[in-house]
């Protein structure tokens, strides 16, 4: 994907991508490299092994649920960051809320909300030292549009939105923080997640039926999400903080 002039971060900026080996992550890493940025990619060791990052991108294996793992990775991301994107997350198979066991609930909330908190906590000190620093979190349309079977994921992503707003207030004016909330994107995420499945199983939703329900009549691709992320990292969004960009083809209009 070619980065649009003035929308992506300027060449030379140092950007960390947590979840860099996922479908959106790989597309984002490539777009940032095309814009001339220095990219550090963080992800599970299994994901990085399955989807090696391009030459010139520092790949750091992490467990985003482990504060010590993130702290060690942050030491290698320095001495400063100009931007960071928190893409890590996954959803469990569809299950009614009252039939969801505590282990699954805790795993999904930890894997989406707690990991965002821990990654932000680890990277904010480096962002404070950067140039026009911007942090982008990853939410979901399910945070605001209740869909049967996704209570843990929707609740966790609603928490990400609340966390984003809190950080935006607390860290202004030094660091801008905004969220992107996609609808369904045709990646391994719909098949269990990069590093969490073999990526070949059937998607958890009917893609044709879903596309037919979207006003723009198609499911999103990773590049559809990359553009808004680049915008939030770059100078054209310099007066935006604490906001959520819903990227879903018109399916959710909060």
Task: Let me know if residue 2 belongs to a domain.
Answer: no
For residue 28, give every residue at least 6 positions away whose Cβ sits within 8 Å of its Cβ, in sequence order, or none: 17, 20, 85, 87, 222, 225, 226, 229, 230
Task: Let me know if residue 40 belongs to a domain.
Answer: yes
Domain interval for residue 173: 14-247
Would you state the pLDDT for residue 11? 96
Task: Let me know if residue 221 belongs to a domain.
Answer: yes
CB 58 within 8 A of CB 37: no
Residue 87 CA from chain centroid, whole number: 2
CATH number at residue 129: 3.40.50.720
Candidate list 150, 153, 210, 239, residue with the active-site label:
153
Task: Let me know if residue 169 belongs to a domain.
Answer: yes
Q: Is-catalytic flag, 150?
A: no
Count how many domains the chain has.
1
- pLDDT band, residue 136 (cuts 50/70/90): very high
pLDDT tens for residues 15-49? 999 999 999 999 999 999 999 999 999 999 999 99
Q: What's the pTM?
A: 0.93
Rounded to whole angstroms, the Cα distance separating 104 from 107 reads: 5
């Amino acid at each position: 994907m070619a980065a649009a002039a003035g929308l992506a971060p300027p060449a030379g900026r140092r950007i960390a991508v947590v979840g860099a080996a996922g479908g959106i992550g790989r597309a984002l890493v490539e777009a940032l490299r095309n814009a001339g940025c220095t990219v550090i990619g963080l992800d599970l060791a299994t994901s990085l092994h399955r989807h090696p990052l391009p030459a010139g991108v520092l790949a750091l294996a992490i467990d985003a649920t482990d504060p010590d793992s993130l702290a060690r990775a942050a030491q290698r991301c320095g001495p400063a960051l100009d931007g960071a994107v928190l893409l890590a997350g996954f959803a469990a198979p569809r299950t009614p809320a009252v039939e969801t066991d505590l282990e699954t609930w805790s795993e999904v909330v930890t894997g989406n909300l707690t990991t965002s908190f821990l990654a932000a906590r680890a990277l904010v000190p480096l962002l404070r030292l950067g140039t026009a620093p911007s942090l982008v979190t990853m939410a979901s349309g399910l945070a605001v549009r209740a869909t049967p079977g996704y209570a843990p994921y929707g609740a966790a992503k609603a928490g990400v939105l609340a966390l984003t707003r809190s950080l935006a207030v607390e860290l202004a004016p030094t660091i801008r923080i905004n969220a992107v909330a996609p609808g369904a994107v045709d990646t391994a995420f719909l098949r269990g997640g990069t590093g969490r499945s073999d990526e070949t199983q059937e998607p958890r939703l009917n893609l044709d039926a879903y596309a037919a329900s979207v006003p723009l009549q198609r499911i999103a691709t990773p590049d559809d999400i990359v553009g808004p992320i680049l915008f939030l990292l770059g100078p054209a969004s310099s007066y935006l903080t604490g906001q959520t960009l819903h990227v879903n083809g018109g399916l959710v209009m909060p």
